[in-house]
Chain A
């Protein structure tokens, strides 16, 4: 197992205001697998990802990545193994750093050396090429920025890529390019992907297996083949599937809240 999560709980706030954002989630992702974590806002899907990545250190349960048990604080070596790409490439890149500097930083932190060749290689890898190396983020389109964010994650040659809504801030034609890129990178580098999204069609395109979350709980796990056949078992998942098929007056009427 590349990622093994047992009974993960994350709470925010104190006393009466406390919210249980993740409520006893257990799931595992095999090496080389592409796993989708699906849910609506507030379902806890991103919080699971942030706990795995070490961005959220206040959790209980067990998280193991590549067979190593993880504590609240991560060792430097962890980030060589596991990297994250965020939703908004307009916010996740330093506006006053060039692409070159953005990509050189992780190399310097991990003391990898040979920065020049690594940056050159990773830029080609994400389909940008050396011409983009000395540009600033504001000189790039949204799709190009997301490619830089992916390059920044890949430059450490990680084995796991955590993706938090990597295409939802992008136009659909650009989304297609990024999905194709992620599929190619996964095949070439044998990456394990964990993709958090609200978009079932994106999961169907990129993932092998998925888990559906609602209000901090894992509702159901299924293969993408089952998703494609509409073979969901839980009413919540079926509702999500119907909602993603476009507007229909009668369907909208049938929706209800699942606690």
Chain B
């Protein structure tokens, strides 16, 4: 906790000119093309359509870009530490303990042959010297913190015995039990029903404000990000085309952002054709 206090004013994460490229038969294909931002103890939304590079941006911070992808950056620093220069051993230490990640679908992220309680306890023991009893106690506390009504009962369940919403809460419990400073959430609620989605977001919201955690929230859902995050980056074809305060998204300037917003159907609007986005080749460079 002490190093957290010291670093309160410094940015949690600095990203400058981040690039992710994959070799193809026709040369290198760049999925992320020069993304720069800094993150404090805030909720930063990264929005974009499929293929915009938003997920790769999130993954490259944890150096989880699959082979043969190549990640380069002028600076990629977490609490002042250069992540690109960190050894694999150091990265294993950072992953989970300092920077955690929640993926979209709990069905594929949880171990199907291990009870959820043991998985959460394991996540704790990997990053601390706690014994089995202590880890179990902490895991039960964490299950209660993500508002699972009967933690004792759920602890002994297997992933296939819980619903999608509960599975995602279990994932969040597992990711937050080592008390990370930064959470990268990649479409954490997209597989969930709207009401469950709101409940899971409320849990993340509370955990962020109570623990002073920073969060990167990757999503395709503009309205959701606008209502949940503090600040938004809008990505298109591997670049950040616009960044704004979440509350000011409706006043976005970039034609891509405006086009995306306009193409969303709205409950309070009469039926009729929706404006279709016409993609300007200029956006690739601007």
Q: Which residues does A use to contact B, with CB under 8 Å?
A: 40-41, 142, 171-173, 175-177, 179-180, 183, 198-202, 204-207, 224, 227-228, 239-241, 243-249, 251-253, 255
- Residue from B223, B264, B267 whose CB has the most chain A CB atoms within 10 Å: B267
How far does the alpha carbon of A205 sit from the alpha carbon of B268 in the complex, in Å? 9
Indicate whether B195 reaches chain A with its CB closer than 8 angstroms: yes
**Which of B201, B264, B267 is the one whose CB lies under 8 Å from A252?**
B201
B49 touches A177 (CB 8 A): no
The smallest C-beta distance from B132 to any residue of chain A, in angstroms, reads 34
B195 touches A40 (CB 8 A): yes
**Which of A172, A206, A207, A251 is the one whose CB lies under 8 Å from B263?**
A172
**Which of B49, B193, B228 is the one whose CB lies under 8 Å from A247?**
B228
A251 touches B198 (CB 8 A): yes
A247 touches B198 (CB 8 A): yes
B195 touches A240 (CB 8 A): yes
B265 touches A204 (CB 8 A): yes
The smallest C-beta distance from A39 to any residue of chain B, in angstroms, reads 9
Indicate whether B224 reaches chain A with its CB closer than 8 angstroms: yes
Chain B residues, CB < 8 A from A202: 265
Given A41-B193, A252-B202, is A247 in contact with B227 using a C-beta cutoff of 8 Å?
yes
Chain A residues, CB < 8 A from B227: 246-248
The smallest C-beta distance from B219 to any residue of chain A, in angstroms, reads 11
Chain B, 244-286, contact with A by CB distance < 8 Å: what is the 0/1 string? 0000000000000001100111111111111111000000000
B195 touches A206 (CB 8 A): no
A255 touches B199 (CB 8 A): yes
B193 touches A241 (CB 8 A): no
B267 touches A243 (CB 8 A): no
Indicate whether B222 reaches chain A with its CB closer than 8 angstroms: yes
Cβ contacts A to B, 18 pairs, < 8 Å: A171-B49, A171-B220, A172-B260, A173-B277, A175-B263, A176-B275, A176-B276, A179-B265, A202-B265, A205-B274, A206-B271, A224-B271, A228-B267, A243-B194, A247-B205, A248-B227, A252-B202, A255-B195
How far does the alpha carbon of A227 sit from the alpha carbon of B269 in the complex, in Å? 11
A173 touches B198 (CB 8 A): no
B194 touches A198 (CB 8 A): yes
Chain B residues, CB < 8 A from A183: 271, 273
Supplied contacts A41-B164, A228-B270, 12 more A-B pairs, CB within 8 Å: A172-B222, A172-B263, A176-B264, A180-B274, A180-B276, A204-B267, A204-B268, A205-B266, A205-B272, A243-B194, A248-B198, A249-B202
Chain B residues, CB < 8 A from A253: 202
B266 touches A201 (CB 8 A): yes
How far does the alpha carbon of A172 sit from the alpha carbon of B265 in the complex, in Å? 9
Closest to B229 in A: A247
Which bracket fits the contact residues of B?
Answer: 35 or more
Closest to A236 in B: B195
How far does the alpha carbon of A148 sit from the alpha carbon of B153 in the complex, in Å? 47
Chain B residues, CB < 8 A from A175: 263, 265
Given A172-B222, A180-B274, A183-B271, is A249 in contact with B205 using a C-beta cutoff of 8 Å?
yes
Chain B, 180-215, contact with A by CB distance < 8 Å: what is the 0/1 string? 000000000000011111110110010000000000
The smallest C-beta distance from B120 to any residue of chain A, in angstroms, reads 23
A176 touches B265 (CB 8 A): yes
Chain A residues, CB < 8 A from B50: 142, 171
How far does the alpha carbon of A9 sit from the alpha carbon of B201 in the complex, in Å? 35
Indicate whether B226 reaches chain A with its CB closer than 8 angstroms: yes
How far does the alpha carbon of A190 sit from the alpha carbon of B263 in the complex, in Å? 25
**Which of B164, B202, B220, B228 is the one whose CB lies under 8 Å from A172?**
B220
Given A180-B273, A228-B270, A246-B223, is A239 in contact with B228 using a C-beta cutoff of 8 Å?
no
Chain A residues, CB < 8 A from B201: 247, 252
A243 touches B198 (CB 8 A): yes
How far does the alpha carbon of A93 sit from the alpha carbon of B231 in the complex, in Å? 39
How far does the alpha carbon of A173 sit from the alpha carbon of B202 in the complex, in Å? 28
How far does the alpha carbon of A243 sit from the alpha carbon of B196 in the complex, in Å? 9
Closest to A183 in B: B273
How far does the alpha carbon of A215 sit from the alpha carbon of B188 in the complex, in Å? 24
Closest to B194 in A: A243
The smallest C-beta distance from B64 to any residue of chain A, in angstroms, reads 24
Chain A residues, CB < 8 A from B264: 172, 176, 201
A173 touches B260 (CB 8 A): yes
Chain B residues, CB < 8 A from A173: 49, 259-260, 263, 276-277
How far does the alpha carbon of A228 sit from the alpha carbon of B264 in the complex, in Å? 15
A243 touches B195 (CB 8 A): yes
The smallest C-beta distance from B44 to any residue of chain A, in angstroms, reads 15
A204 touches B197 (CB 8 A): no
How far does the alpha carbon of A41 sit from the alpha carbon of B167 in the complex, in Å? 15
Chain B, 145-156, contact with A by CB distance < 8 Å: what is the 0/1 string? 000000000000
Chain A residues, CB < 8 A from B270: 228
A244 touches B263 (CB 8 A): no
Given A173-B49, A252-B202, is A205 in contact with B195 using a C-beta cutoff of 8 Å?
no
For the complex of A and B, list the 5 residue pairs with the smallest distance between their C-beta atoms, beginning with the closest: A246-B227, A205-B265, A176-B263, A252-B202, A40-B193
